[in-house]
Amino acid sequence: MRLFRSLFIVGLVPLLSGRASGGESVPTFNKDVAPILFNNCSNCHRPNEVGPFPLLTYEDARKRSKLIAEITGKKIMPPWKPSVGHDVFKDARTLTDEQIGVFKAWVEAGSPEGEAKDLPPQPKFPEGWHAGEPDMILKVGKPFTIPAEGPDIYVHFVLPLNFDKDKYVKAVQILPTNRKVAHHGVIILDGSGTARKLAQKHGGDHYPNFGGPGFLPRGFLPGYAPGQTTRLEKSDKVSITVAKGTDIVLQMHYHPIGKDVTDQPQIGLYFTDKKPERNINIVGMANNDVFIPAGAKDFKRTDSFTLPADFEVENIWGHMHMIGREMKVWAELPDGKKKDLLLISDWDFNWQDTYHYKKPFVLPKGTVVKAEWTWVNTADNPRNPNSPPKLITWGEGSTDEMSGLIIGGITVNPKDEGPMWIPVILHYLDIERKAVEATEKRKATQATK
């Protein structure tokens, strides 16, 4: 017995000191785990952030060590959806296989804390306005209530700018008051006055989601994603023109957290006097003929758009709702080559980012951009809002479905900047027309049955 015990102790001592008997290093929290958490997790997993618990101390991590190893092993955390382009997107929230291995080995070693001297300092995160006091602060009129339970909420806050001339924005920060519930924010520019009217119709300064903002955007400003830092770019080239007469529409996505809470977001704008050298163009794609029968396993829709000019692609954003499963975007170049732009094969409604390419690339005039959306309306899709599954059609609520894709970039030739909007708008109208036609055709076939 005594022998056993001493063997046990002999075996344990090296473990505690972070060394296995073979001389091989055993990962400890202080030395190996904390740096990974501080760099990849704590920006969301800290007090008043979107993560459901902090990951800042040994105790925080030890309590959940198995869950952390499991969830990082399955690549559920950190949340990052694109599979093509792990390495081609900026600020990708991904771990290396080695880092994932550290969590696993740490749990297998009994989650040791390690030596105090190895612990890096607590990470610091910017609070308030990251880039200093903004030139202009817009504030949502009154606190908006997010109920304890229920589906995710998409709301559009309308913030009139009333500019008497065009202004150039070089940075933007969205500052929610309650970051626990704030999942995403998108700033959409409305030059049509439609958003104001929609808000008035709903008796205030905001209106619900119509599967989209309910108008054709004039453009976008940078949005809000949890844990992100706003920086001021040095170059004025990247500023964005906000034309006179434009209203800001802030689309917030809230995720209920089990108790009633409120949020009253603000937007901070930083201006420059310098007119941007170039303005962003967008390509919008969708297929709104969405009619997904109960039980449909792989319901697919596609859309394609031929580029009217050489176009330098900078970012990409895709959209589906709850039962969306896969989103695939690629380009067929005039020389016959194919280029993958985005693949999300485990679509998650809760994590929809705009993905920025590390190195923008040119797609030549005549390139056909193709998008394919796949939905799974079966009972074994864990995100199916209906049990048993039922017919899901295109619509405004998060339990209806939608498809969407926006690609942002600049035309290579400045002369193409204005003209490129024409085919883009025509394509948008075409999407609407096709959806109406498909619905009518379906009604007609049903009527003759």
| Residues forming the site for ligand HEC (CB under 6 A) | 40-41, 43-45, 50-52, 64, 67-68, 71-72, 77-79, 93, 95, 226-227, 350
Token pair for 287: 């297929």
Helix or strand or coil: residue 434? Answer: helix
CB of 61 to ligand HEC, least distance (A): 8
Contact between 42 and 33 under an 8 Å Cβ cutoff? The reply is no
Shortest CB 346 distance to ligand HEC, Å: 12
**In the complex, least distance from residue 76 CB atom to ligand HEC, rounded to whole angstroms:** 7
Based on CB atoms, which residue is closest to ligand HEC, 73 or 360? 73
Q: Where are the beta strands (DSSP E) in 147-298?
A: 153-160, 167-175, 182-190, 206-208, 219-224, 240-242, 247-254, 261-263, 266-272, 281-285, 291-292
Complex with ligand HEC: residue 163 or 351, whichever CB lies closer: 351
- For the bound state, the minimum distance from the C-beta of residue 115 to ligand HEC, rounded and expressed in Å, comes to 22
Cβ atoms within 10 A of the Cβ of 351, count? 17
Convert 260-279 to b/e letters by CB count within 10 Å (16 or more is b). Answer: ebebebbbbbbebeeebeee
Shortest distance, position 45 Cβ to ligand HEC, whole Å? 6
Angstrom distance (rounded) from CA 19 to CA 133: 49
Query: Judged by CB, which is closer to ligand HEC: 80, or 305?
Result: 80
In the complex with ligand HEC, the residue whose CB is nearer, 226 or 318, is 226
What CA–CA distance (Å, rounded) separates 31 from 207? 49
Q: Rounded to whole angstroms, how far apart are CA atoms 195 and 161? A: 13
Cβ 122 to ligand HEC shortest distance, Å: 16
Nearer to ligand HEC, 74 or 297 (CB): 74
Q: Is 213 exposed, middle or buried (0-12, 13-18, 19+ CB in 10 A)?
A: buried
Calculate helix-pair angle for 65-73, 97-108, nearest 10 degrees: 150
| CB-nearer residue toward ligand HEC: 68 or 285 | 68
Residue 318 to residues 217, 252, 374: CA-CA distances in angstroms?
16, 16, 12
Amino acid at 163: F
Residue 393 is inside which H or E element, if any? strand 392-393
Nearer to ligand HEC, 210 or 351 (CB): 351
How far apart are CB 38 and ligand HEC at their closest, in Å? Answer: 10
* Residue whose CB is less far from ligand HEC, 71 or 412: 71
Q: Smallest distance, Å, CB 403 to ligand HEC?
A: 22
Place of tokens 């002999």: 10
Count CB atoms within 10 A of the CB of residue 72.
Answer: 21
C-beta of 46 vs 218, nearer to ligand HEC: 46
CA 313/CA 309 separation, integer angstroms: 12
Least gap, CB of 321 to ligand HEC (angstroms):
16
